[in-house]
Chain A
């Protein structure tokens, strides 16, 4: 079984809809991250969390919110989706052994029409 899972894997939604992306991990890591990936722009950090209920804004947090109610789960919400939020979204985790090595989930491909 995968250590970091994301649901859904693919989602098509309409402008203005609320959508939630879920991330779960079985690695026991304390740190979790949400990134988006766009062609040519690389991975950009949206939000990160160092522990339960700890929330920190990343480079591009506008239009997104997150929740970390349990160590193993970190969810990302788009309150009112817009087309330029169409992207590939990755969740990642890292732990005390090496915070520099991040373990990524398989990604969620989101399309906003």
Chain B
């Protein structure tokens, strides 16, 4: 089983739609969680951190459910420019403090 699992998609949605992605992680000791965004043929970039109480950044809302070990990302009022792959990332706070990346969920927003 992968440490961080995501539905690869693609999720095809019309502009203006609300779309949600989930991600599950296997290590119950994981401490920190993030969403990164990767555009086609580009490098990943940090989109937002995920806090236990949930957090919002404009049209984006991230939530964490520790009991069920999943993380979600909600995008409201989708824009064409939101088309990208969204990577779920977990820091297990192990000795190396390394990040573990999920395989990504691809989103395509259509006009």
Contact = CB atoms under 8 A, between A and B. Distances in A.
Q: Does A associate with B in a complex? A: yes
Contacts of B99: 100, 102
The 7 closest A-B pairs by CB, nearest first: A104-B43, A42-B103, A43-B101, A42-B101, A101-B46, A104-B44, A40-B103
Interface residues of A, number: 19
B103 A100 contact: no
Interface of A: 35, 40-45, 48, 56, 58, 90, 99-102, 104-107
A43 B98 CA distance: 12
Q: Which of B43, B91, B102 has the most CB of A within 10 A?
A: B43
Contacts of B44: 43, 90, 102, 104
8 contacts: A40-B8, A42-B4, A42-B102, A42-B103, A99-B97, A102-B44, A104-B44, A106-B42
Interface residues of B, number: 21
B45 A48 contact: no
B104 A42 contact: yes
B45 A104 contact: yes
B91 A100 contact: yes
Given A100-B91, A104-B45, A107-B43, 19 more contacts: A40-B8, A42-B87, A42-B101, A42-B102, A43-B101, A45-B98, A48-B96, A48-B98, A90-B43, A90-B44, A100-B34, A100-B49, A100-B99, A101-B46, A102-B44, A102-B46, A104-B43, A106-B43, A107-B42
